[in-house]
Amino acid sequence: MSFREQLKGTGVALVTPFAEDLSVDFDALGKVIDFDIANGVEYLVSLGTTGETPTLSKKEKLDIFNFTHEKVNGRVPIVVGIGGNCTQDIIDTVSSFPLEKAVAVLSASPYYNKPSQEGIYQHYKAIAAASPKPIILYNVPGRTGRNMEAETTIRLAHEKNIIGIKEASNNIAQCIQILRDRPEDFLVVSGDDDLVLPELACGIDGVISVAANCFPKAFSDMVRAGLSNDFAAARKLNNPLIEAYNLLFAENNPAGVKAFLSELGLIKNYLRLPVVPVSEGLEQKIKNYLKK
């Protein structure tokens, strides 16, 4: 099976639950994993930025990944997030991390440095050459400060060991250009939950989603309907989620999704600084939404 087939559908960008003392709450993480798998998601992404990875130590990242692998126990594929703004550090990490437990590495484009398009290209080319597992590009300019242009993505799509992209530019025109020009076996998934429905109509292969943490069944059913070109069914499933998308990202990710998961009784609503829980006003809106 090709990676494009294996990672089609809905992947969940897992949160990292914390206990009151801000240690990793592995029991809660296990609950989220079981909840998402039981409700039909196709795969999980461990240690993505939704998992608050900038605040995790190297040991915590390894412990979380190993726990996730053991908890999943082969039920769905696991993608692991390994990114950053120091190319050599990422090369060192992918060379030493237990990547035999993952099907691929999701690597966010460098943040803060604001490299040129050539710099982005060379960054990913070097990582792909060093990694024992294939690389999924991750373009999220709202967080990194630099858009990876469609031409750069297509150039990288022809490099060995680069199998796809999570495109979170919030730019459907750019997404369409990538879909038009990609090699046949190149995976394209969305990173913008609110744009998944129209992007499915454009030909994307699925999504790595924040919303699927807390709405795994409705969201993954919507994606499968879109992939089957049943857009009447997909719209029916997506319409009630539109308000949730706005609430999830109104103040911060993952503050929004952690508030939802806390209200659902799956985790405690703790985050590590500099991220803080959502405001009282937004928390009440989330409670009201869930009551509906």
Q: What is the pLDDT of residues 115-168, one digit of tens each?
A: 999 999 999 999 999 999 999 999 999 999 999 999 999 999 999 999 999 999
Per the DSSP assignment, residues forming a β-bridge with 137 are 107, 165
What's the half-sphere exposure (Cβ side, CA atoms, 13 Å) at 81?
A: 26
For the chain, the farthest-separated pair of C-alpha atoms sits apart, in whole angstroms, at 50
* Contact status, residue 24 vs residue 17, Cβ threshold 8 Å: yes
Catalytic, out of 8, 71, 133, 166: 166
pLDDT tens digit sequence for 177-187: 999 999 999 99
Q: How far apart are alpha carbons 291 and 112 in whole angstroms?
A: 40
Nearest to 155, CA basis, from 190, 188, 118, 206: 118
| 98: its two tokens | 């237990």
Per the DSSP assignment, residues forming a β-bridge with 107 are 137
Is the sign of the CA dihedral 26, 29, 33, 39 positive or negative?
positive
pLDDT, position 290:
97
Spans in the chain with pLDDT lower than 50: none
Q: What is the pTM of this model?
A: 0.97
pLDDT, position 288:
98
Domains detected in the chain: 3-237 (3.20.20.70)
The answer to whether 289 is a known catalytic residue is: no
Catalytic, out of 43, 124, 138, 245: 138
pLDDT, position 1:
81
| 14: its two tokens | 């897992």
